[in-house]
Structure 1
């Protein structure tokens, strides 16, 4: 009877076979490569071989030890198989960056990599590997922007960041819909507390980088934000988030009235035209102004910026009367940073946010947002009327 090989032993044997096979093939390649280098590429230089040196390489199949790398006496030969001081093949850096992007801490990534390839990776090493991303961030933050965006969505979130102590700091996020209807995160900025002054600085930066023409800005009711937006884009319209307004109103009324008030408000912002919406508001006002005068007065005061979206094509209204699109993005940001509890510095925050943004923008670049294809010609007319 043949002995039964335990599963773990069989797996280890299989891994060793694969690693030995790879080692043999790499060493064969290196021998052929130096031979070609000396005899074909540099035949007139009198190069001579000078034995081997040994090195290791972390691969997706585990750590391959004692690879014999040939060399020449003059030190001219450099293999194309890996860099002179490379200790990992490219897949590992990519895997580490993707794990970091998913929200794993540098320590958790290090532990996972150690189990995977058998080599210890400290949190500092993982951080250094992901540091290459920061060069991309700097270029991305300075890149030129398209001249026109039909819609800009503005929103912020707070994350915990360590400076001397841990505290919450804002992440300003700007999402745009371009002329072709593709959504795109245009910018994010980390630091401080959310303010209209901060938003003005950000919007001015977008303008300087080429974003000159906007039809509509969609955001919530942060004090001073509308003025900051219009200071940079005076020809744009402003749309206050209707969903936020409804939610805030319902929080101020008695529970037994919430359903009726919600339905009454829905008749206003779901109206097919601005005129019908005004009629519905007058009915709402008549019904509720005695019981909730402050809430009704607030709606009457804000109605112009709450119903701006009705100036725009019907096909895109569901996407522009609320900040839902950018809120979903921020929800994804929170999901990615939550496992880290607090981030060690601003750079760490920027790295994970940028990797998330890059993934989202890549996905959106192939999708046209709902209704924007059908509305493209009308939106182009609106651009022409305002900016030409």
Structure 2
């Protein structure tokens, strides 16, 4: 039976066909022989590939400007149809713009009426959009404004000031505010609450603050960062404000909330989402345990911990903990204490079927994100204020989520970030539906 494409599908298909046709034309114009010839001419003139790219960029932009001018006036240059026209060409003026190929000096056409407004290189624009995106990308990788300036000067020959880099990155302020206040789904089956320590200058000294990230797994199994909150001292009031803001943005219910023994958080969760299960994050608990273990004993301790969090039920887990206590009570008492403190918020995990357990404690994507965010925050050293730290973390998150490839192998378009998927999610979703009847949207 014939299938009828939706309007959106038709537009997407047409766009893809146009891109393919455009690529074919470019390939035909820039055949290997033509490129070799252009490179040979550039080398003969004492330049190289970079100079060739700059020359091509200049030619393309100037040609596009001439086409825009012809469209603005209504006739081509030299066309008799322009005789007697109320407006006409009036020479050109030089303008240097920074591009990915380096600085390019253009001749921008102008008209006698002064009404021509170029679109490809707008007035008062000294950088093309690709350069701004490059600056944001480098900044999101933890490079300082001066490092970015030096990098662009070294690689592209583009001279820009640290202040310009700061101005470019400041553009995301409104984007961050919109992201921090965006509407959320009504239900997230799993929430992960984690923290990254950042150094922030405050009252003339540098202090450690916790940048708390709330990561939600939606009903389709995609993980997304729902927001960032920075606080030096957390407690019940702080967490109540955070969770209330999430609820006000539309998050009416959470089924399982995984956290790491943060002060006041379980009480706040119980107030905002009374029926949510508060679960100590197994990965965090294992990581905390390893802080008390000498490097030579880590494999032994890891092997002894595994029977606890893979136990069939609470009784089996208690037996495994007792075995751990009997073997390592003297050599690693901190490990025993860490598990005893978290026991009441750990054992709910053991009531879940194995498939659901794997989804809850297998947080490779989250650990990977946190590792990258810690890396870029450490690279930057300390921040002048909380907003600067949030800006860098947001750009890092945007870069990490934005490069995700969905199940069909296509890059998720900018502004439509879905985060990363969850392996075995369909089976886990069925388990959630049975364990939490009526909670998931139909």
TM norm structure 2? 0.74
2:201 to 152, 162, 186: 162
User: Which 5+ residue runs of structure 2 have no aligned equivalent?
Assistant: 1-39, 406-417
Query: Cα distance, 1:14 vs. partner?
Result: 4.8
- In the other structure, the counterpart of 2:71 is 36
The answer to which of 178-187 and 290-299 deviates more is: 290-299
Residues 5-34 of structure 1: CA deviation (Å, up to 9, x unaligned): 9x9997635544443444344334333432
- In the other structure, the counterpart of 1:101 is 140
Query: Cα distance, 1:271 vs. partner?
Result: 1.3
1:317 to 357, 370, 382: 357
- Superposed, which structure 2 residues align to 1:310-349 within 5 Å? 310-321=350-361, 326-349=366-389
Query: Cα distance, 1:290 vs. partner?
Result: 11
> Would you say 1:175 and 2:215 are equivalent positions?
yes
**Change beyond 3 A, Cα 1:45–1:213:** farther
- In the other structure, the counterpart of 2:175 is 136
Query: Cα distance, 1:143 vs. partner?
Result: 0.3
- In the other structure, the counterpart of 1:379 is 432
**Change beyond 3 A, Cα 1:125–1:310:** same
Instruction: Work out the CA distance in 2 between the residues paired with 1:105 and 1:254.
Output: 36
- Superposed, which structure 2 residues align to 1:357-372 within 5 Å? 357-362=397-402, 363=404, 365=418, 367-372=420-425
- In the other structure, the counterpart of 1:271 is 311
Query: Cα distance, 1:58 vs. partner?
Result: 1.4
The answer to which of 219-228 and 131-140 deviates more is: 219-228
Residues 158-217 of structure 1: CA deviation (Å, up to 9, x unaligned): 211224422222201111111111111111112433334322211111111011111111
Greater RCO structure (CA 8 Å; 6+ sep): 1
- Contact 1:241/1:322 (8 A) holds in 2: no
User: Which 5+ residue runs of structure 1 have no aligned equivalent?
Assistant: none
2:97 to 32, 57, 70: 57
**Change beyond 3 A, Cα 1:111–1:246:** closer
- Contact 1:235/1:386 (8 A) holds in 2: no
- Contact 2:433/2:440 (8 A) holds in 1: no
Query: Cα distance, 1:329 vs. partner?
Result: 2.7
The answer to which of 334-343 and 280-289 deviates more is: 280-289
- Contact 2:290/2:335 (8 A) holds in 1: no
**C-alpha RMSD of matched pairs (Å):** 3.7
Query: Cα distance, 1:386 vs. partner?
Result: 5.4
Query: Cα distance, 1:98 vs. partner?
Result: 0.6
TM norm structure 1? 0.83
- Contact 1:172/1:194 (8 A) holds in 2: no
- In the other structure, the counterpart of 2:54 is 19
Query: Cα distance, 1:234 vs. partner?
Result: 0.8
1:70 to 105, 109, 134: 109
> Would you say 1:88 and 2:141 are equivalent positions?
no
- For the residue of structure 2 that corresponds to 1:112, the secondary structure is helix
2:238 to 198, 203, 216: 198
